[in-house]
Amino acid sequence: MDSDLFQRRFIVVSGKGGVGKSTLCMAIGMAAAQMGKRTCIVQLNTRDAIGRFFGLPPIGYEPVQLLPDAPLFGCNLRPAQALREYSLMKLRFRALHRLVFENDVMRRLLGMLPGMTETLLLGKAWFMEEEERTDAGQPAWDALIIDAPSTGHGVALFRLPEVILQAVPVGPMADDARRMQALLADPNRTSFNIVALPMELPVNETIDLQRQALAVIGMPAGVIFANQVLPDVLPASFDGHLATLAASADPIVQASAMNAQAYRRWRVAQQKQLGRLHHAASMPVVELPHLMRPMDLVGLQRLADLSRAKIRNNVAAIA
């Protein structure tokens, strides 16, 4: 089995909030699209992180093309639209759908059912991978980049098929839950990837998330992206020079040297956490550098190139 996540069609990306997860989803999506893969970045009922970045209106339920010269698309799944699509497929008739679902009592009831919103979103993402086809009968998507909820919420989302089967072991919903469960466990179609920062709390959560996703849920391992790793621009041999400059009477020289010392301490702290991550991880760790610039399309392209190259290098090293 090729461990290159670009060979999978259902690429799940999770991680602690604020680690750059959505940015990595866009970078991975851009890399896949530039390899010729028809790719969709799938947001799950979140504040749109894609449209504004690509200079577009907020992304909706239906996929829209993000780049004019690459097959890169994005969508933001909403539970109400997913419910409508699912019920129309099952009930066949719009009038019956309106009678059953489009009334205040049913809306309130569905809102009270634990996990119903998440089930609809996961079901739609599964449908895009397994059921959507081109006119020629081929899968409509070569790669679906799932921008999963952060950490604990992501684990709960991917346990839903099991929860459904425990509650409703037979019937159409159970059949669909089994197919969702099969997708999430299939190493030929799915990979579970985590984004982390080289800081103590994100590393702690990444180690725990890895354990839960792989051991508890049984999802196939992808890679851990260690994001925003500081480059080694000030090696340890400079410490003596910096200490001398920090004692300078010139306030500009002194401030510059102290800032450089702070950078060194920050990088040393990062390297300590990276060491912990490499030691505890059962998934390959791909380090991505801090680009030292505001993130824009140029930066995203750089991140896409780095992600693709480092993943391929990692695969070659494993082989």
Beta bridge partners, 265, equal: none
Question: What whole-number distance in Å separates Cα of residue 18 and Cα of residue 277?
Answer: 18
Find, among 154, 125, 121, 157, the residue nearest to 141 by Cα: 125
Find, among 288, 272, 289, the residue nearest to 280 by Cα: 272
What residue ranges do the domains of the chain occupy?
5-232+282-318
Query: ∠117-107-110 over CA atoms, to 5°?
Result: 40
Q: Do residues 155 and 209 lie in contact, with contact meaning Cβ atoms separated by under 8 Å?
A: yes
Average pLDDT (154-160) is 81
Q: DSSP letter at 133? A: B
The architecture CATH gives domain 5-232+282-318: 3-Layer(aba) Sandwich (3.40)
Question: Where would I find the H helices in 113-225?
Answer: 116-130, 151-167, 172-185, 200-211
Residues 6+ apart with CB under 8 A from 235: none
Question: Does the structure show a pLDDT above 80 at 158?
Answer: yes
Average pLDDT (117-136) is 88
pLDDT in tens, 43-92: 998 888 898 899 999 999 999 999 999 999 999 998 878 877 766 665 55
pLDDT in tens, 222-270: 999 999 999 998 877 888 888 889 888 899 999 998 999 899 999 999 9
Question: What whole-number distance in Å separates Cα of residue 300 and Cα of residue 217?
Answer: 31
Question: What is the residue type of 305?
Answer: D
Confidence label for 135 from pLDDT (cuts 50, 70 and 90): confident
Question: What whole-number distance in Å separates Cα of residue 207 and Cα of residue 259?
Answer: 32
Q: What is the pTM of this model?
A: 0.87
Residues 6+ apart with CB under 8 A from 149: 14, 44, 46, 156, 157
Q: Do residues 44 and 149 lie in contact, with contact meaning Cβ atoms separated by under 8 Å?
A: yes
